Structure 1
Amino acid sequence: MKKNVFRVLIMAACFLSMESCADLDLPSDGRLTLEDMFSSYQRTRNYYHSCRSFFPEKGFTYQGSRAPLASFTDEGHDASDGVNGAVNDWYNNRTSATNNPIEGSYSWTHYFQGIRKCNTFLTSIKDPNIATAYIDEDEKNGWIGEVLVLRAYYYLQLIKKYGGVPIINTPYEVNHDFSKDRRATFEECADFIIADCDAALALPEGGSANTGFRWNINDNERGVITRAFAYAVKSQTALYAASPLWSTGGTKYTWERATEITKEALDQCLTHGFQLFTTKPPEDVAQNAYAYYFILRSDPSRSVDKETIFESLSARTNVWKFAGTPITEGAEKAGFGPSQELVDAYGMQATGEMPVLGYTDGDHVQPIINTAAGYDPMNPYVGRDPRFYASVYYNNSPRSLTSGVIEKTLYPLNFAATKNNVTVSGTNEVKLVTTSSDPWVHTTTLGKAIAAGQKRVISFEYKSNKTVNNAEFFFCVAGGPQGGVSTGENITIQQAGEWTRFEYDLSSAITKWGFGVNSNGGQAPQNHFLRFDLTSGAGYEITIRNFQIESFTPPPAPVAVETFVGGNCGISSNITQTRFTRTGYYLRKFNNYKSGVNVDGDGLMKIFRLAELYLNFAEAASNSVGADAAVASKANGAAALSAREAVNIIRARAGMPALPTGLSKEVFQIRYRNERQVELAFEEHRFFDVRRWKILGETDKFVSGMRITKNGNSYIYNRFKLQDRGTNVDKYLLSPIKLSEVSKMLSFTGVNWQNPGW
C-alpha cells in the first residue's frame, strides 16, 4: 500500500520538494516498505533511536555567533554585538519572518520532522500487519513510552516559541488534504502533550532491569527517556499553560490544576530517589556544591548526581572558549557577559535580603539600595549569595581556585592526662566537659619537628552544646606555655549539633611569638605540644575528633580576573574588541577553570532537573493557595509542602537563609521570581519566563553594566546603560513562524498562521 512506503534515507523536503509543517510523513520511492522496516528487530530498534535524533542540544548553539540563549535576554550582553550575526541582528531589532536569530538549528521544521518520525514509529509499531518482528513486550513498551514523551517534548518546544501549532498524531498520506489543517490553541496543545505523557506513564515499567518505560537506567544508557522526564514535561507544560500569557478566561489550566500537576511531578521524583545535589567538592575543584553540580557530568544511574533528570547528550557548554576571560588559554572571545541587573538579583547571604529593590531612573544607573540587606555599594561583591560566586566572574575574583597541589604534613594529636577543670573521656571521639573557670587540657607531643617556612593550621571536627568564646592555643614544653597564640585572641568555636570542621591558622602567631624555648632554627621541636584553653566557665561540652596540626606550603595565589578599566580582563566598549566584556562581568557557571585548549572540562546544560520542579510547584501553589498553605501529596511517602517551603529548600542548598512566613502575595511573587532568576540563571529559562509572565516590556529593552576604575588601592564603581535593543515589544512575546511555512499554509488553508506583529 502507498501509505506503507518509506525511504531509509528520508529527505527533509517532502511536499513538492518544500519544507512544511504539513509534510510530516509523505511516502517515498519505495526503496524500503514499512513492512520491511518493522519486520526486523534491529531495523525497528534503529528507527526508534532515530526519533531521538531531533533532540536539541543546549549551550552556545545560536547560529554563527556561537552565543547562548542568555545573550538574547536581560541576563546579559554579548561581546559579539558589533559582529555580523545573530547577536548583532537581535540587538539591532533585525528579526523577521525570514531572519530569526534565535531559531538556529531547532526550527519549526526541525521539530515537525521529529514529530513525523515519532508518528510513523507509533503508528507502525502498533499495527500487527506492519510490525511483524518479535520484540519483547517490555522492551516494546519502553520504546513506545519513550517516543510518546519525545513527541510531547518536541511539541512543548514548539509551543514555547510559537504558541499553538497544528496537532498531528498520524503519518500523512500522499492524498492528505492540507486545506483541513489548522493551528490548535495553546490549551489544546497542552492537552495533547500531557495526554502523551500520561499514556507513557500508564505503560508498565517492565519486568527486567534494562527494558520497559522506567524510572531507573544505567550509566551506559545515557539519552534514554525516563518516567521522571515525562513528569518534568507535564510540570513545565502545566506551568506555562497557567501563566498570564496563555491563561485566558475559562481555561482548564488554572493555577489550581497547575499546582496539582506540578506537585505530582515533584512528589513522584522525590519518592523515586531524586534529591538536590549537595556534594561538597574538593577545594581545588569548585567553590560549593552548586558550582560543582554544573561542571560535573551527570550519571544516569544517579549514584552521585541525584538531581539531574536529563542532560544535554554531547555538547559541552564550552564557556572557556566562547565566553572565556582574556586570560583563559585558547579562549576565542568574551561572548556573553552577565548583566548588572542579574548581579543585583543575587541576595546577601547574611540577611537573605535582596540588595537592590529597583531603580529610580530609566537607565538603571541609580539603584534603590535595600538598607536592611547589608549591601555596601563600595564593596558590591562581598557577602553575596554563594550562587553568585559560582556563576559570575567579577572584578578581582580568582580565575582559578588553586595554582598547584597542596601537599600536607599532618601531626595527629591526642589529649594527655594533664588538665585543669575539665573532664576528658573517649578515645577516637574525645568529649571535653568544663567544670569550673580556666579549663584547659594538654595534648600529646608533636612527635616530629614542624619545619620553618610553612603554613601551620590547627584543625579538628567537633560538636559543641554552646558557642565557645575566648578559646586559646599555646605551644608548650615541659614547664608551661611558651609562645604560641597570645592571650586576648578570642578564638570562637561555634555551637554545632552536627560534625563541623574547625580551622585556626597559627602562622601569624608563630611569626609574632616563635615556638618558645628550646626551638631549633625556627622549628617546633618534636617534644612540643599544645595547651588548649577552652573558655572561662563550666557547662561547656565539646566532642572532638581528628585533632591535628596541618603543615604545608600553600600554592601561589591564583591570578585575579581584573575587570576594571585597563585590567587584564578589563571592560571595553570598542565593538571591534570581542575578547573583552561589555558589562564588566564574565560567565563562570558551567566553566571548569581547568578547561583550555588541551582539555574541555566544562559542564553540559541540564534539560530538566529537580530544582526546576520545586520552583514550578512553588509558583503554581503560591498563585492558587498562597505562599504558606501546605499542599498535600497523593504519592506514597511524599510530604505536604508549601510554596515557601519549596523555595526555601532551594535556598538551603545554596546556603541562603529561609524566606520568612507571612509574606504578601505580591512580595512573595517578587521573591519567588528572583529565586528562579538566580537558581536557573543561563539555563534557557529566563527567555521564556519573562514572556509567559508578560513582563518582557519591563525587562528586555536594554541591560546595564558596571564600569570600574582603579584609584590607588581602591575602586570607583559606575553603573552604565548599554544600547537599546527594541526587542521588548509585544510581538517578541512569540517567535515569528518562517515566512515560507506561513505562505504555504495560507495557500492551502486560506488562513494566515503568522504570529501577531510579524
Structure 2
Amino acid sequence: MRNFIIKIFIIAISLLGINACADLDLPSDGRLTLQDMFSSYYLTRNYYGSCRAYFPQVGFMYQGQQTPLASFSDEAHDASDGVNGAVNGWYDNRTSSSNNPAEGSYSWAHYFQAIRKCNTFLASINDPEIATAQIDEDEKNGWIGEVHVLRAFYYLQLIKRYGGVPIINTPYEVTHDFSQDHRATFEECADFIIADCDAALTIPESGKSDIGFRWNISDNERGTITRAFAYAVKSQTALYAASPLWNTANSKYTWTMAAEITKEALDQCLAHGFELFNTKPAKNIAQNAYAYYFILRSDPSRSVDKETIFETTAARTNVWKYAGTPITEGVEKAGAGPSQELVDAYGMQATGEMPILGYSDAQHLEPIINQSSGYDLSNPYNGRDPRFYASIYYNNAPRTLSSGNIEKELYPLDFIENAANNISVSVNGDETTLTSTGGDPWIHTTKIGRALNSAGKSVISFQYKSNKTVTDAEFFFCVAGGPQGGVESGSNITIEKASEWKRFEYDLSTAITTWGFGVNASGGAAPENHFLRFDPTRGEGYEITIKDFQIETSIPPQAATPVETFVGGNCGISNDITQTRFTRTGYYLRKFNNYKSNVNVDADGLMKIFRLAELYLNFAEAASNAVGPDVAVEGKASGIGALSAREAVNIVRVRADMPPLPAGLSSEEFQVRYRNERQVELAFEEHRFFDVRRWKILNETDKFVTGMRITKNGEEYIYNRIKLQDRGTNADKYLMFPINLSEVTKMESSTGENWQNPGW
C-alpha cells in the first residue's frame, strides 16, 4: 500500500520561493502529508515549482572557485592553478571518488534528489485519492508536461557525466527492496529521457496564453519549461547516444536515428518562430551580433532574441570580476584564460580556412600552418573569425568600444493604464495625459528591460506640459507587488507649470545608492524587472501631458587603453602562481563580458542552456555521419524543407560573417570542420568538456594546454608558444566522472554489485 505519510519539512517549502507561507496551515509538528499538499491549488503549484528548484544555475561556480567548466577542459587554464581548490586539484590530477573537483554542486545526489521530487509530483498529481485540489485541467497538464521534461533533463545531466544510471520513475516506498535495483545502460536511459519528452509533447497546447505546456511564454515566465526545451533535450540525448563513447554494435541510436530526431527538433523550433540572433549592435555596444547576443539577456517572449531556448535564470557570468583583465575596476582574478588551442581553432575570415591544421610536436609548440589560409605568424590575431574578437581578449585588443565621447543610453518607459490609482489616462500618439482625480494618484511604468549602466549619471527625463505647478511629486522604485522605496530623498520633487513643452530631469544617484534601483537585485528582482511608480501629486485637477518618458544614462569617456598581454604589459602574462590576477595563457575571456561592467555595475551576460545554433550543429553532426555532408535530409514540420549537414553548418557561419564551407568535402574532412565549428561557436558554453569525451578524443586534447608568451622589443612583438603543466586528466577513466564513494558503497551493500565507473 502506498505510503501516504511522506513528510515534507517546512524549510523545504520555504525554498520553493512562490510566496506559499501564507497558505500553509501546518500541523503542530511542522509536517504535511501528500494529501495536504495536493488538496490545495497553491501548495500543488508550489510543489510543481520545487521540481524546478534543482535546475542548475550554470556559470562561474565550480566548487566555490568562481571558474567555468571550460577551465577543466582544453578551452582554458585558470590562473588559480596554484591556489588550493578545485582547479588546482584537477590540474594536479587529485580527482578521486571521494573528491571530484569538476563535479561542483550539481552532483549525482543533487540530480537524484531532483528526480525524486519529480517522481513524487507526477505520481501524486495523477492519483485521484491524493490530488483533490480544484485545478484547471490545462494548467495541471502544463505542470505535468514541464515536470516530465525536467525529469528528462535531470537524467540527461546524469548520463553525460556518469554514463548509465538507475532509472527510477516512481517514489520509493519505505519498504522498497533496493537489492532489486540495477544500473541501466546509456541506451536505456536515453530511451527513458526521450519517452519523458514525448509524453510531454503529446499533451496538446491549451490555446491559452498563460497556462499549459506551450511553445510561447511571456517575459514574466522566465524559467518555464517549454516545448522547444523538450525538443532540445531529445536532440542532445540522441546525439550523445549515437556518439562513439556510447554507441554499441547493436545500439538503436544510429547516426540515422539521431539525424531524424535532431532534424525534427530543429524543424519544430524553426516552424514556431525560432531563428538565429542577428541584430547588429551599435559600435559602442558590441563588435557584432554574436558578441551582442552573449551580453544581452534573453527575453522569453522572443520579441528580440529568437535564438535562446533556455537561459540560466539567475547567475550572471561575472566575467568582469572572476575572469577579468587587471585593468578592469573591481576585478578579483584572471580566472579562465583561453588556451592557445582554442585561439588556433578560430578560422580566417577572408578565406574561411582553418589557420592551424595541427601540431608537428607532442608539446603543441610547432603548429602546422595552413599556407592557403592567409594566417600571418607575425600578426597572428589579424583577419580572424569575428567570433574570436567577440570571445577573447588578446594582445592589443581594445578594452573598450567607447568612442571617447560622452555616450548616452536610453531606457524608454511607458505608462500602464490599468495600473493606476486616482488618475485618468488619455493617450494621443506618443503623448500621455495624466489627470489626477483626488486622493493619492499614482501610475506604474513598464519595466526598464535591462540593467542600467551606472558608470555615469542616470536620470529620469521627459518632456511635459502642466496646467499647474506640482511641488510634491514622487517616484518610487518598484518590483512586482508594489513600491520598494522612494527614489527621491529629502525634499519633494517640483514640476513647474508649463504651457509649452519643457524638459524635466531627476537624478537617480540616490536611488541607485540606496536601493540599487536598476543596477542590482535589490528588492528581490533582477534589475531589468524594476519599474517606476509616478505619483504626480495629491489632490484632483492636476493635468500633466508627458512624452519621451525614459531613464537615460550619460557615460563618461573611457580610456582607450588596449589590453597588453605581453610580458610587463598592463595585463601581462605571468607564471607566478601567487599572481592570480594575471593570465597564464596570454589571453583573457571576453565572451559574455560587457566591456562596461565593473565594480559599479554587472552587465555581463548569462549562459545559455539550449539555443538554436546548437540544434543546427547537432543536426550537422548526425546527418553528416548518417548520409554525408551534402545529402539533404527531409523535414517533417510544416513549411520546413530539406537540409544538408553542410548547409546547417553554413547557416551558423553566415550569422558569424564567415564564408561557407565548400561543397565536396569528404566525410573525414567535414568531420574536422564541424568539430571545429562546435569548438568556436559553442566556446565556454559547457559543450567542449563533454564533446571530447563522447567523441573519445580526450587522450588527444586534455593532457595539457598551451599559451602565447609575447615579449616586446621596441615596436616589435615576439611570439613564443608555451606549454603549461601536464594535467593527467586525459586518461580513459576521465571519460566519465567517478560515482561518489559513499553512493557506490550504499549501492554495493544493497545489490552486491560494484557500480563504480572504470578506473575509479
State TM-score, norm by structure 1. 0.78
Separation of aligned partners in 2, 1:598 and 1:404:
20
Number of the residue aligned with 1:575 = 577
**Match for residue 194 of structure 2?**
194
- 1:16-27 to structure 2, matched below 5 A, reads none
Who is 1:741 aligned against?
Answer: 743
Does residue 146 (structure 1) correspond to residue 146 (structure 2)? The answer is yes
Aligned-partner residue type, residue 635 of structure 2: S
Give the counterpart letter for 1:689 in structure 2: D
**What percent identity do the matched residue pairs reach?**
79
Q: Which residue of 570, 586, 589 corresponds with 1:587?
A: 589
Compute the displacement of 1:11 (Å): 8.6
- RMSD, aligned CA: 1.5
Secondary structure at the aligned position of 1:283 is classed as: coil
Deviating runs (4+, > 6 A) in structure 1?
554-557
Which residue of 2 is the match for residue 422 of structure 1?
none
CA contact (8 A) 1:262 1:613 kept: yes
Residues 11 and 250 of structure 1: is their aligned pair in 2 closer, same or farther, counting only changes over 3 Å? farther
Is the 8 Å Cα contact of residues 122 and 147 (structure 2) preserved in structure 1? yes
Alpha-carbon distance in structure 1 between the residues aligned to 2:34 and 2:102: 36
Does the 8 Å contact 1:5/1:30 carry over to 2? no
CA contact (8 A) 2:311 2:606 kept: yes
1:400 corresponds to: 400
Shift of 1:8: 2.6
> SS where residue 9 of structure 2 aligns?
coil
* Partner in structure 1 of residue 683 of structure 2: 681
Tell me how far apart the structure 2 counterparts of residues 337 and 403 of structure 1 sit (CA, whole Å): 27
Contact preservation (8 Å) 2:291, 2:591: yes
1:113 aligns with 2:147: no
Q: Determine if the alignment matches structure 1 residue 620 to structure 2 residue 622.
A: yes
Give the match for residue 367 of structure 1.
367
Matches within 5 A, 1:412-431: none
The answer for the alignment partner of 1:549 in structure 2 is none
Output the CA distance in 1 between the equivalents of 2:72 and 2:30: 45
Q: Superposed, which structure 2 residues align to 1:159-558 within 5 Å?
A: 159-402=159-402, 404-405=404-405, 558=560
Contact 1:6 1:30 in 2 (8 A): no
Q: Secondary structure at the match of 2:3?
A: helix
* Match for residue 601 of structure 1 among 594, 603, 610: 603
- Read off the aligned partner of 1:394 and give its amino acid letter: Y
Q: Shift in Å at residue 129 of structure 1?
A: 0.6
1:692 to 691, 694, 711: 694
| Structure 2 equivalent of residue 710 of structure 1 | 712
Q: Supply the distance in 2 between the matched residues of 1:307 and 1:661 (Cα, whole angstroms).
A: 27
Question: Could you tell me how far 1:639 is from its partner in structure 2?
Answer: 1.3
What CA distance in whole angstroms lies between the structure 1 residues aligned with 2:754 and 2:316? Answer: 39
Match of 2:534 in 1: none
Aligned to 1:3, what secondary structure does the other structure show?
coil
**Partner amino acid for 1:395?**
N
Equivalent pair of 2:357/2:370 in contact (CA under 8 Å) = yes
**C-alpha distance in 1 between matches for 2:2 and 2:212:** 32
**3-state DSSP class of the match of 2:53?**
helix
Q: Which residue of structure 2 aligns with residue 671 of structure 1?
A: 673
Paired amino acid for 2:679 = Q
| Per-residue deviation, residues 543-591 of structure 1 (Å, max 9, x unmatched) | xxxxxxxxxxx96761100000000000000001000000000000000
**Paired position in structure 2 for 1:474:** none
Q: For 2:711, what is the secondary structure of its paired residue?
A: strand
> 2:595, 2:401 → 1: CA distance?
8
Aligned twin of 2:136: 136
1:651-688 CA distances to partner (integer Å, 9 max, x unpaired)? 00000000000001110000000000000000000000
8 Å CA contact 1:648–1:659 kept in 2: the answer is yes
| C-alpha distance in 1 between matches for 2:374 and 2:243 | 34
Give SS of 1:564's match: coil
Query: Does the CA-based 8 Å contact 2:630-2:645 persist in structure 1?
Result: yes
Question: Which consecutive residues of structure 1, in runs of 5 or more, have no partner in the other structure?
Answer: 13-28, 409-553
Distance, in Å, in 2 between the alignment partners of 1:407 and 1:215 is 38
Report the Cα distance in structure 2 between the residues aligned to 1:561 and 1:690, rounded to whole angstroms: 31
Equivalent residues, number: 598
Corresponding residue for 2:32? 32
The aligned residue for residue 638 of structure 1 is 640
Q: CA deviation at 1:30?
A: 8.8
Contact 1:591 1:602 in 2 (8 A): yes
* 657 and 406 in structure 1: CA distance in 2 versus 1, 3 angstrom threshold: farther
Q: Which residue of 2 aligns with 1:533?
A: none
Once the two structures are TM-superposed, the CA of residue 9 in structure 1 deviates from its matched residue by: 1.8
2:730 corresponds to: 728
The offset of 1:406, in angstroms, is 6.0
CA separation of 1:721 and 1:209: change in aligned 2, threshold 3 A: same
Give the structure 2 partner of residue 523 of structure 1: none
Match of 2:612 among 585, 610, 623: 610
Give the greater-gyration-radius structure (CA).
1
Cα displacement (A) at 1:64? 2.7
SS at match of 1:4: coil
* CA separation of 1:407 and 1:66: change in aligned 2, threshold 3 A: closer
Whether contact under 8 Å (2:404, 2:559) holds in the other structure is no
Q: CA deviation at 1:88?
A: 0.2
1:647 pairs with 2:642: no
Counterpart CA distance in 2 for 1:402 and 1:207 is: 46
- How far 1:404 moved relative to its partner? 4.0
- Partner SS for 2:161: helix
Deviations 1:339-363 (A, max 9, x none): 0010000000000000000111111
Separation in structure 1 between the aligned mates of residue 621 and residue 613 of structure 2, nearest angstrom: 13
Question: Corresponding residue for 1:752?
Answer: 754
Judge conservation of contact 2:339–2:707 (CA < 8 Å) in 1.
yes
Deviations 1:598-653 (A, max 9, x none): 11000000000000000000000000000000000111011100000000000000
Matches of 1:11 and 1:156, distance apart in 2: 28
Q: Distance in 2 between matches of 1:320 and 1:271?
A: 37
What per-residue deviation string (whole Å, max 9, x for no partner) do you get for residues 269-310 of structure 1? 000000000000111110000000000000000000000000
**Within 2, Cα distance between the matches of 1:208 and 1:662?**
48
Q: Deviations over 1:325-384 (max 9, x none)?
A: 000100000010000010000000000000000111111111110000000000000000
Q: What stretches of structure 2 of length at least 5 have no aligned partner? A: 13-28, 409-555
Whole-Å separation in 2 of the counterparts to 1:199 and 1:640: 27
For 1:331 and 1:227, locate their aligned partners in 2 and report how far apart those are by CA, in whole Å. 39
SS in 2 for 1:176: coil
The change in CA–CA distance for 1:407 and 1:117 in structure 2 (over 3 A counts) is: closer
Structure 2 residue 124 is the aligned partner of structure 1 residue 124: yes
Question: What TM-score, normalized to structure 2?
Answer: 0.78
Separation (CA, whole Å) in 2 of partners of 1:596 and 1:245? 42
Task: Please give the secondary structure, in 1, of the residue aligned with 2:8.
Answer: coil
For 2:598, give the aligned amino acid. Answer: G
The residue type paired with residue 119 of structure 1 is N
Equivalent-residue separation in structure 2 for 1:300 and 1:268 (angstroms): 17
Q: 2: CA distance between counterparts of 1:336 and 1:90? A: 14
Secondary structure of the residue aligned to 2:709 is strand
Do residues 4 (structure 1) and 4 (structure 2) align? yes
Q: Kindly state the Cα deviation for residue 104 of structure 1 after the two structures are TM-superposed.
A: 1.1
Distance 1:10 1:307 in 2: 39
